[in-house]
Amino acid sequence: MHLREIVGVISHADDVSCIVAMRPWGPESEAKLVRLTDDFRVPADQLQQGYEYFLEVSVAFDEVLDGLEDVLSPEQRFEAVLFYAENDAYPDWLCALRDQANEA
C-alpha cells in the first residue's frame, strides 16, 4: 500500500495502529499500518524490511487533521500529515485554516 492510500483511510484505521513507511517519504512510498511493540517501538521485522516510524494513526487523525478532514482535499490531508511527520509541526496553511474554522 502507498503512503497516500494509508493517509486516505486513517479515519477508518484502528487508533492504536502506527503508520510505517519506506523513505524517501512521499505519496508513492510503500507504507503499512502496524501495532507498536509493548515498549512503543516499530516491530523489528518491519525495520528489517526497510520501514520506518512515520506517525501514529491517533496523532495523524486526532491532532493533525483534528476535525478538518471533511474540509480538506485528499491532497491537503496528505500534505498536512506528511509535513507534521517530517517537522513535528503544523504547516502554516493548516494553522490559518484552523483559525478560520474557529472564527466561524
Listed by start position, the domains of the chain span 3-103
Reported as a single tens digit per residue, the pLDDT across 52-97 is: 999 999 999 999 998 888 889 999 999 999 999 999 999 999 999 9
pLDDT of residue 46: 98
The C-alpha cell that represents 74 in the structure block: 485528499
pLDDT band at 104 (very low <50, low <70, confident <90, very high): low
Q: How far is CA 85 from CA 22, 31, 63, 89, in A?
A: 13, 14, 12, 8
Question: pTM of the entire structure?
Answer: 0.93
Residues with Cβ within 8 Å of 85's Cβ and at least 6 positions away in sequence, in order, are: 25, 54, 55, 60
Say what the pLDDT of residue 90 is.
95
pLDDT of residue 69: 84
Report the 10 Å Cβ neighbour count for 39: 5
Looking at the predicted structure, is the pLDDT value of residue 12 above 80? yes
What would the grid cell of residue 94 be? Answer: 493548516
* pLDDT mean over 34-48: 96
18-37 mean pLDDT: 97
